[in-house]
Chain A
Amino acid sequence: MAKKSENTSSVEKQLVAPQETIDDDAINHASSEEASTEPTVADITAFVETAQKLERELTSIIVGQERVIRELLLALLAGGHVLLEGVPGLGKTLLVRTLADALSLKFARIQFTPDLMPADIVGTTIVTEQADDTMPSGSKRVFSFQPGPIFANIVLADEVNRATPKTQSALLEGMQERTVSVGDTTRPLPSPFFVLATQNPLEMEGTYPLPEAQLDRFLLKILVNFPHAQDLMRIIDTTVGTQALRASKVATGEQLTHMIEVARAVPVATHIKEYAVRLLLATHPGNEDAPEKVRNFVRYGASPRGLQAMILTAKVRALLEGRFNVSQEDVQAVAFPALRHRIILNFDGLADGITPEDLIKVIVEEI
């Protein structure tokens, strides 16, 4: 349930490193060391209830973006990163911040700018004074690691395409490997770890479009569309009044990690897997099953990560739809956010104004 927020600044940290030095041993290793366990009925019940609460919290604050919220939940419960794309003012940042509010997780926001440096993200080693009685001065100077904002559970990479490729690539290792290497030390990131990046498709001047390798690391790319008139009316009612809405906590990081495990256990029939594989292969222009439009306008098709993204998010969608199995409709529904950033158009496609959504629609219709 939403509630008034009295301290909004406590959650949002803009380019602010964590105040305390994080001890390497204190970092949560839960995901890497825990053995996968069979979910129980209670786990499934908890999953459904928590997901329902979380969605309710988000929809009560973010008006007119139900599809975006659903897709964000799919990525969150599948344990993947999300790239949110939309024009300014549609509530991308608010959505991520509300999500962080609803989850008892450590949240960090990084505003990407051209002068942002990799060390500003991952952290750096600094010289600090440490008390030492043996020293005449009573202290000694030692090197200690100052973690960057990436050492949080939910990282909002705002306007990620405004930073230089060098800085953008600082996110690469963290997103894929969930570790950060500084100097000669590799440090694991906390679990759960989500990167929610936003980018503006309009103001392309002075930006650095994300390379394909980095785009591929986002589980889903969610397009934030402009709300309808009815939704705009509701936005007025909820945002320009005297009371500011704030999401209440509905889940902890541990619960979220467990929910991810529950979602992964959803069974997928062989013919559904085969269907997903056919969909993925159809995005490749060289494939014999690829539609004519794909052959004409696609340079590179989706990578195997696209297939993983489809199946993972389809599992979550199945649970959210009240089923315990993945259906063909689930795969079709998640194909758009899972594949749209993995299909690279050729010159003809770009020149003719073809969008990946057009191609995915054709693929879903023909396959």
Chain B
Amino acid sequence: MATIAPSRIAKVLPGASEPASSEQLIAALRPWRRKLTIQQVLGWGRAGLLTGLILASILLLVSRLVPWATALYWAIGAASTGLLCALALALWLRPSLAGTARIVDRRLALHDRLSTAWEFQHQESTLATLQRRDALIQLGKQAPTRSISLRPRRSFLIIAGIVIIAFVLLLTLPNPMTAVLQQQAAFQARINKQIAAIERLRNTIDHQTTTSPEERKQIDQILKSLEAQLSNAKNETQAQQALAQAQAKLSQLSNLQNTNKILANAAASSALQNSSNAALQALGQALANGDSKALASALKNLASQISKLSPAQRAQLAQQLEQAAGQASQDPTLSSALHDLAKAVASGNSSDINAATQEVENAASQTASATANQGSIDQASQSLQQAQDSLAQSGDGTNPGQARQGQGQGQGQQGQGQGQQGQGQGQQGQGHGGSGGGNNNGNKQGNGEQVYVPGQIGSGSSSQTNGGNNGIVQPGQSVPFSQVIQEYTAMAHDAIDNSGIPLDLKDLVHGYFDTLEGQH
């Protein structure tokens, strides 16, 4: 039964006349507040450190599953941040005196005596004074040092011990991802080296006077884009793909913009060389050789002959020039210049002839420039091919299986793309072989062999070069099918014999290749 507790009240009532001021209450609460603050700082600090260590252990665990070079720093940072944040929060949110009163009430089971006394600390009524005195008496029975323990709980110690052991183990045991990280670092170094080489190449091309500014700008953009792609490349495959794409762009630039001019020049020169007129033959020879001096001399001879020719001879000469202009239709500038020259020859006007010859010289000069551009593009393409080779060779030593496989796939795709391009050119009757940048691809196609692929329509041809050391467009070379099929058959037989294919299926495949071999 709950009974009235006169003993408690009896202790308070005789002292009712004694002062129990708010200052006494504050003075009594201060040591408790200090102790509670220390306890909070220690407790929160321990909890913050434990949280930080748990987080750090998780980070270290993750770094063992995925390559993460800076995981250790993050782990140390997490542990330190947890501790510092907890300490800062503990100090920032340290209990006020009112809060201390409530906490001490709760911990010492004082039945809200202190918090009520704190709230009515400035009241001087009898009950408020008695209440304050009662609170002070009850508080005086306890000491902060005895009542507030700074020792952590046993459960906390157990958890902390487990976490610390796990953290130390994760720190000390060898990380299987270290080798991967080293490979990545080596790869990054190679990439940086290649980027530096590309940068040097950009500078070189930028200072080449033989290349037109527009062409230099386009090449520079391609190389700049390549640099960015290489910087963002996560692995060797991506780097190789970026290099192959840049090569393809360079090749495309070369093909689309300059090939027509060169072809037109060649066609016009051929037509002129077939002429019976010696001056036109010399002109055609000069155009074919791209010799500007010879061209100027030939044009001068032609101009000097005009005045001596009869109108009929001039008309014949003009007709031959017109035919050459027609042959050079793919280069509008050259075609127009030859056409103007033909008209001037037909008219016999010396001033028109001089203007037309000058026009032909300019057009021939542009064609020569295009040829020079082709040289710059070839230079860039060669450099990129060297970069690819360099990456592939370095990759062989570090991550042979994975890197070579990726490279092979990338090169295979590139070679295929170029082959399709060559086929398209062939359909127009002027097919040029696309260049494949393949180099030791993953399957057994990369043995440096060339397979002749004839143009389907027209006279063009394309070549898919597997294993070439550069990206220069090369004319297709014919390899006999019998030689190719023998090599493939031998490889197929070896592959089948070394695999786990059942015997009956092996015989089937052997028979298939034997059948193919026998067809030629």
Q: Across the interface, do A41 and B115 meet the contact criterion of CB distance under 8 Å?
A: no
A89 to chain B, nearest CB (A): 22
User: Known contacts A272-B116, A325-B112, A326-B116: does B125 contact A38 (CB below 8 Å)?
Assistant: yes
Given that A272-B112, A327-B111, A328-B112 are contacting pairs, would A322 and B5 also be in contact in the complex, using a CB cutoff of 8 Å? yes
Contact B2 A324 (CB under 8 A): no
List which A11-31 residues lie within 8 A (CB) of chain B.
Answer: none
CB distance from B157 to the nearest CB of A (A): 31
Q: What residues on B are CB-neighbors of A52 within 8 Å?
A: 4, 6
Q: Are A322 and B116 in contact (CB under 8 A)?
A: no
| Cβ-closest chain B residue relative to A45 | B13
Residues on B with beta carbons closer than 8 Å to the beta carbon of A330: 111
B279 in the interface (beta carbon within 8 A): no
Which residue of chain A lies nearest to B106 when distances are taken between CB atoms in the complex? A328
Contacts of A271 in B (CB 8 A): 102, 112, 115
Within the complex, which residue of B1, B2, B4, B116 is in contact with A51, where a contact is CB–CB below 8 Å? B4
> What is the CA–CA distance of A66 and B3 in the complex, to the nearest angstrom?
9
Q: Specify which chain A residues have a CB less than 8 angstroms from the CB of B8 in the assembled complex.
A: 322-323
Instruction: Please pick, from B1, B6, B126, B131, the residue contacting A325 in the complex, using a CB distance under 8 A.
Output: B131
Docked Cα-Cα span, A49 to B13, in Å, equals 12
Q: In the complex, what distance in Å separates the CA atom of A267 from the CA atom of B131?
A: 8
Rounded to whole Å, the gap between the CB of A260 and the closest CB of chain B is 14
Question: In the complex, how many residues of chain B place their beta carbon closer than 8 angstroms to a beta carbon of chain A?
Answer: 31
Within the complex, what minimum Cβ distance (angstroms) separates A76 from chain B?
A: 14
A320 contacts the other chain (CB 8 A): yes
Is residue A254 contacting chain B, with contact meaning CB distance below 8 A?
Answer: no
A242 within 8 A of B: no
List chain B residues, Cβ under 8 A from A48: 4, 6, 9
The residue of chain B having its C-beta at the shortest distance from the C-beta of A267 within the complex is: B120
- Complex: chain A residue closest to B105, CB-CB: A327
**Are A320 and B130 interface neighbours, CB within 8 A?**
no
Residues on the A chain within 8 Å of B123, using CB = 267
At the interface, is chain A mostly helix, strand, loop or mixed?
A: helix
Q: Does A185 contact B (CB under 8 A)?
A: no
B287: min CB distance to chain A, Å: 94
Interchain CB contact under 8 A, A324 and B5: no
| A124 CA / B6 CA spacing, docked (Å) | 47
A267→B5 contact, CB < 8 A: no
Distance from B2 Cβ to chain A, minimum over Cβ atoms (Å): 6
CA distance A67 to B3 in the complex (A): 10
Q: Is B134 an interface residue (CB 8 A)?
A: yes
Residues in B with CB closer than 8 Å to A9 are none
B83 within 8 A of A: no
In B81-139, which residues have CB < 8 Å from any A CB? 102, 111-113, 115-117, 119-120, 123, 125-128, 130-131, 134-135
15 A-B pairs besides A267-B131, A321-B4 with CB distance below 8 A are A40-B126, A44-B126, A44-B127, A44-B130, A48-B4, A48-B6, A266-B127, A267-B116, A267-B120, A267-B123, A322-B6, A323-B134, A324-B127, A326-B112, A327-B112
30 chain-A/chain-B pairs, Cβ below 8 angstroms: A41-B13, A41-B17, A41-B130, A44-B126, A44-B130, A49-B6, A51-B4, A52-B4, A52-B6, A55-B4, A66-B2, A70-B1, A267-B116, A267-B119, A267-B123, A267-B127, A269-B112, A269-B120, A272-B116, A321-B4, A322-B4, A322-B5, A324-B127, A324-B130, A324-B131, A324-B134, A325-B134, A326-B112, A327-B111, A327-B112
